[in-house]
Amino acid sequence: MAKAIATISRTKEIMEAHGLHTKKKFGQNFLTEPSIVTRIAQSVPMADKRLLIEIGPGIGALTEQLALVADKVIAYEIDDDLIPVLADTLAEYPHVEIRHQDFLTVNLKEELAPFMNDGYEISIAANLPYYITTPLLFHILESDVPITSITVMMQKEVADRFAAQVGTKDYNALSVITQYRADVKMVMKVPKEVFVPKPNVDSAVIQFRLRPYSKQVVKQEEFFELVKGCFVQRRKTILNNLSVYLKDKDKAKEYLEKANIDPARRAETCTLDTFIELYEVMSC
């Protein structure tokens, strides 16, 4: 195998050979530290038959390492100019498939059904563009696909919110929703200096170990909307936010009393179990 793609010299070589320039509209920042992509790939849970999905492979730095640990890799790339580049940089990996498609338009259940039926365990790994991190993750979390884990690099500030504990400044609707679906852990911090071009902020790699759907106790979409509604104005009480969400202050007060939630509390002080209890009361 040639020198790893995730090095400064190889990255520059590939970009020059293909006349490439990073595109701000796609949030492209190429990683140039091999140890980081190796660690991401190796942190993905082991499986007898493993399919890894990558979002936005760029020039293939992480894809290359995923190919070394997976039976099959499917990478979704939106940038027309990168398709021939990936065909070149990943030519020695026949089990890597590049799909030229915006991941947000992918029907995951439909596209991954053949692999689920064939006994593959599915995980996702990616270096996500900052501007679209949350929509991409919700697209995955809201899909009816038995994904084992999601290991992604993102802006450190956003990663802190996903992993935040109740009562902390970073704890918000995003924290509750993701922790409902998964166990969340921080894998590592990544300095901005290891990217080309260098972004303005540091990054972090975070991993979500998803829970089986059999353990879900709520209608997911309704529950997510309730949680978001309770956090609309962070400095307001949960009574105020819930009143706006329901368009009925008396109903909001009634539900909070039945769920034994002090209406003067703020949403940031409520645990995941507290939100589930509120949802169950409202569903009766």
- DSSP codes, 66-113: HHTT-SEEEEEE--TTHHHHHHHHTTT-TTEEEEES-GGG--HHHHHH
Select the CATH number that applies to the domain covering 8-212 from these four: 2.30.42.10, 3.40.640.10, 3.40.50.150, 2.30.30.30: 3.40.50.150
Contact 267, 230 (CB under 8 A): yes
220-283 folds as Helicase, Ruva Protein; domain 3 (1.10.8)
Q: What are the extents of the domains in the chain? A: 8-212, 220-283
Candidates 166, 140, 142; CA nearest to 151 is 140
For residue 164, give the amino acid letter. Answer: A
Beta strand segments in 156-212, E: 182-190, 195-196, 203-210
Contact 33, 5 (CB under 8 A): no
Query: Which alpha helices (DSSP H) does 93-184 contain, by range?
Result: 108-117, 133-141, 156-163, 173-181
The two structure tokens encoding residue 165? 């504990």
Q: Torsion angle of alpha carbons 126, 202, 179, 124, nearest 10°?
A: 10
Q: Please give the model's pTM, rounded to 2 decimal places.
A: 0.87
Candidates 38, 274, 218, 120; CA nearest to 263 is 274
pLDDT in tens, the chain (284 residues): 578 999 999 999 999 999 988 888 888 889 999 999 999 999 999 889 999 999 999 999 999 999 999 999 999 999 999 999 999 999 999 999 999 999 999 999 999 999 999 999 999 999 988 888 989 998 898 887 899 999 999 999 999 989 999 999 999 998 998 888 899 999 999 999 999 889 899 999 999 999 875 445 678 889 989 999 999 998 999 999 999 999 999 999 999 999 999 999 999 999 999 999 999 999 98
Contact 265, 166 (CB under 8 A): no
DSSP 3-state of 25: helix
182/178 Cα distance (integer angstroms): 6
Q: Give the per-residue pLDDT at 214.
A: 45
Number of H helices, E strands in the chain: 12, 9
Q: Give the per-residue pLDDT at 216.
A: 57
Q: Give the per-residue pLDDT at 1.
A: 56
